[in-house]
Amino acid sequence: GAGVSQSPSNKVTEKGKDVELRCDPISGHTALYWYRQSLGQGLEFLIYFQGNSAPDKSGLPSDRFSAERTGGSVSTLTIQRTQQEDSAVYLCASSFGGGKETQYFGPGTRLLVL
Amino acid sequence: SQKIEQNSEALNIQEGKTATLTCNYTNYSPAYLQWYRQDPGRGPVFLLLIRENEKEKRKERLKVTFDTTLKQSLFHITASQPADSATYLCALDGSNSGYSTLTFGKGTMLLVSP
**pLDDT tens per residue across span A62-73:** 999 999 999 889
Low-confidence ranges of chain B (pLDDT < 50): none
Task: Encode B44-77: b = buried (16+ Cβ within 10 Å), e = exposed.
Answer: bebbbbbeeeeeebeeeebbbbbeeeebbbbbbb
Give Dmax over CA atoms of chain B in angstroms: 45
Low-confidence ranges of chain A (pLDDT < 50): none
Which chain A residues are closer than 8 Å to B106 by Cβ? 40-42
Across the interface, of B41, B46, B100, the residue whose CB is closest to A100 is B100
Which chain B residues are closer than 8 Å to A100 by Cβ? 31-32, 93, 100
Cα distances (Å, whole numbers) of residue B4 to B23, B27, B42, B89: 7, 9, 22, 10
Which chain A residues are closer than 8 Å to B46 by Cβ? 102-104
What whole-number distance in Å separates Cα of residue B112 and Cα of residue B85? 6
Give the A:B interface size as CB pairs under 8 Å: 60
In this predicted structure, what is the pLDDT of residue B99?
A: 60
Question: Which one-letter amino acid corresponds to residue B25?
Answer: Y
| Residue contact A42–B100, C-beta within 8 A | no
**Neighbouring residues of A62: CB distance < 8 A, sequence distance ≥ 6:** none
pLDDT in tens, A18-30: 999 999 999 999 9
